[in-house]
Chain A
Amino acid sequence: MKPEEHQRRFENTDTLINEPIMAVDITRYCDWLAIMFYYGAAHLVDKHYAMRKRPFHPDNHSQRVDESRRLKRGNVVYKEFLLLYNAGLNARYEPIFYDQEDVKELKESYDAIKSILLTA
């Protein structure tokens, strides 16, 4: 996809994240919110990969997450993105259920990535 298409995907996901029903302190859908945090962030990092002179299109999530080390303020983006990646996969495939405290932590990671990559 092109950078503007990733941006549109990000905005679509971000809009859903900010719907009242998904508010971190009341939502009953903590597992889906964790997954949305990852995919929202994924479209932001993919947008930056696609903006390069030689665009990079990751084949899988492992490549996508590892490549985030090479972004602006990659030391921050990488560790927050790594957390969202694990949290999202575990929300889907592990027998655990996140609560409000969990998704508040994840929102901090998501917001940190947004604040860096939306202004870059």
Chain B
Amino acid sequence: MESTLALSQSYKGLIADSILNILPYTLAKDQSNLLETPWGRHMGDGSYYTYNLLESVRQSIVDIPWWTIGESNNMSQDTCETELLDRLINGLLAFATTEKVIISQREESIAFWVVSSALDIMTQKKYCYFFADIVDKEFDTEYIFDFRIVSPSNRDLKRIPTDAQVYVRR
């Protein structure tokens, strides 16, 4: 668990950040009604070397099962708190219905979204009891938690802060 998150928080985050920086260009490229993106070395077949290179890197990153976005805005917890967050994240990811766990932190406020393939009450109950037990026993009361269980189509997911951390189930 520790090694997985350590890995996630080091190079994957940095790479993902870099990809985010080029993403607007690649997205623009995807729109067929636009002219060829005018940057990079022209390859003669209408494509651009730099664009193709970055696009292939982006694709490889997307294929990594655990990935994070915005790791340059690292959480500031000490080691103990980071381990507790790891327990929460890994515990939530262990549920068979979990597709993603998304975390956003602003100082002492930490928001969790669990994207779940099921939203019946027993499923929501399992998530809530697990989350509440760890938060109640392990975290100091100065932290303010928000915890939401949502479907993959939930519209709020489009408004997730850009520096949120996203963990995808293996």
Contact = CB atoms under 8 A, between A and B. Distances in A.
Interface in B122-168: 122, 124-125, 127-129, 131-133, 135-137, 141, 144-151, 153-155
Most buried by A among B109, B133, B135: B135
B151 A94 contact: yes
Interface string A55-93: 000000011011001100011001100110011011001
Contacts of A106: 121
Contacts of B125: 83, 105
Contacts, number: 71
Interface in B95-128: 109, 111, 119-122, 124-125, 127-128
Interface of A: 62-63, 65-66, 69-70, 74-75, 78-79, 82-83, 86-87, 89-90, 93-96, 98, 101-103, 105-106
Contact of B121 (A65, A94, A102): A102
A66 B144 contact: yes
Contacts of A69: 135-136, 141
Contact of A90 (B119, B131, B135, B145): B119
A74 B153 CA distance: 32
30 contacts: A62-B109, A63-B144, A65-B147, A66-B144, A69-B136, A70-B141, A74-B136, A75-B132, A75-B133, A78-B135, A79-B128, A79-B129, A79-B132, A79-B133, A82-B132, A82-B147, A86-B124, A86-B128, A86-B147, A87-B121, A89-B148, A90-B124, A90-B150, A93-B155, A96-B119, A96-B151, A101-B121, A102-B120, A105-B121, A106-B121
